[in-house]
Structure 1
Amino acid sequence: MPSASDTKSLTLAAQTGDPLAVEALIERYLPPLHAFIRLRAGARLRDRSETVDLAQSACREVLTDLDGQQWVSEARFRQWLFTAAESKLQDRRRYWNAEKRRADREVRPHDDQGLPSWDQVLAAYGPSPSQLVVAKEQVERLENAFAELSGEEREIILLARIVGLGSAEIGERLEKSETAVRKALSRATARLLRQLRGD
C-alpha cells in the first residue's frame, strides 16, 4: 500500500488541478475501487453495466473534484473516496431500476449481417479465450460466495479488504469495538473461504 505522505502530496496536487496527480491517484485507487463496485453492485447491475466503466467514471469524477477536501489521513481519504463511489453506484442502480429500463422490457438488437460486435473485436487483442474463461469463472465464484454472506459480513470484508480501513475506523462506522470488528472479520473471512471451497 502506498504511503500516506505520497497520497497526501498527490491529493494536494490534484486539488490545484494537476492532471498528473489525478492520473496517479486514479491508477492507485482504481483496482480496489473496481473490486468494491463489483461486489457492491449485485448480479443484476453487473449484468446491465460494465463495472470497470462505472469504477473509472466514479474515480475520475471524485478525484477531479477534490475542492474543499481536508486531508486527515490515508484511511479517511479512502473512506471518503469509497463513500463517493457508493453514491455513484446508487445513482446507477436507480437509473437501471427505472421502469422504462427494466431488463424484462429490453429488446436486444439483432445483428443479421453476421458481423462481429465491438466487444468481440476488442477481445481479439486481449488474453486468450481460455484465460478469460478461467478468470471469469474465478470472479463469478468469488461474487457468488460473497453474495452468500450476511450483509454485515460483506460490509466488514469490503471495508477491511477493499476499502482498506482499520479496525478502529470500521468499528466507528459499524458502532462496534475494535476487538468485535477483528473477530467478525476473521469469522467472515473464514466463512467466505468455506463458501469458495464448497464446504
Structure 2
Amino acid sequence: MTSQDESPPEPDRTAALVERAGRGDREAIEALLLQHLARLRAFVRLKMGPVVRGRESSEDLVQSVCREVLEGLDGFEYRGEAGFRQWLFRRAEHKVIDRGRFWRRDKRDAAREVPATPLGDEGETLRGLESLFTPSRDVAAHEELGRLERAFAELPPDYQEVILLARVLELGHEEIAERMGRSVSSTWSLLSRALARLASKLED
C-alpha cells in the first residue's frame, strides 16, 4: 500500500490547462490566459512604442494575440510554466513588430488620426509592471502609465530589452544572457544601469 509520503505530486495546473485548452475547453483557455493577462498587457504597452501606440489600441493588440494563441494551442508542446510564458510573449512581440512595420510603410497623415484609447483596466496593467516601482509610489494609474511609457521609450534598445526580459517576462539571468548574447555578469550590470536610468527619467 502506498504511504502518504509516497503519493504522487499534484499535476502542474498550467500543464493541465494547456492540455484541456488544446482540446478546445473554453474555461481552460480563459483561465490559462488570465494567469498572464496583466503582464501581457504591460509587455505590449511597453513594446509597441509611440508609433504603434499612437495609431492602435494596446487592448486591441492584446486581444488579437489572445485570439491567435487560442487558434495555435493545438500545435503547442508544453514544456513548463516558463516555456509557456516565453512562447506567449514571443507571439505578442511578433504581433507588435508586424504592426510597427505596417505603420512605418503606411503614409497616412498622422495629424488626421484619432489617438488610441488607453486600456480599460489600467490598474491590472500596472500590476503587471509593479516590479519596476517601489511600493511607495502613489499616483493615478493613467498618469503613471503615461510617465512610464514616455520614460521607457527614451531608453536605449538594450536597456528596454533587459528590463522587459527581467521584470516583465521574469526570466533568470542565465536565460537573459543567452537571449542577449552576453555574459551573466554583464546582464546583471546592464539591468542595474537600465533601472537606474529609468528611475532617473521618472524622477525628472
For normalisation by structure 2, the TM-score amounts to 0.76
Q: Residues of 1 paired with 2:113 and 2:172: CA distance?
A: 46
Q: Residues of 1 paired with 2:69 and 2:104: CA distance?
A: 24
Aligned to 1:89: 96
**For 1:104-150, what per-residue CA distance to the aligned partner results, in whole angstroms no more than 9, with x for missing partners?**
5x467xxxxxxxxxx8xxx9xxx9xxxxx932221111111112211
Alignment check: 8 A CA contact 1:26 1:63 kept = no
- SS of 1:49's partner is coil
Q: Residues of 2 paired with 1:64 and 1:161: CA distance?
A: 28
Where do 1:1-199 residues align within 5 Å?
Answer: 5-99=12-106, 101-104=108-111, 106=112, 134-198=140-204
**For 1:9-41, what per-residue CA distance to the aligned partner results, in whole angstroms no more than 9, with x for missing partners?**
211211121111110122111211111111111
Unaligned 5+ segments in structure 2 are: 1-10, 124-138
Q: Residues of 2 paired with 1:73 and 1:170: CA distance?
A: 17
Q: Residues of 1 paired with 2:184 and 2:19: CA distance?
A: 31
Q: Residues of 2 paired with 1:101 and 1:11: CA distance?
A: 41
Percent identity for Structure 1 against Structure 2:
46
The count of residues paired between Structure 1 and Structure 2 equals: 174
- Report the RMSD for the aligned CA atoms in angstroms: 2.5
Q: Residues of 1 paired with 2:35 and 2:102: CA distance?
A: 28
Shift of 1:102: 4.5
Letter in structure 1 aligned against 2:21: A
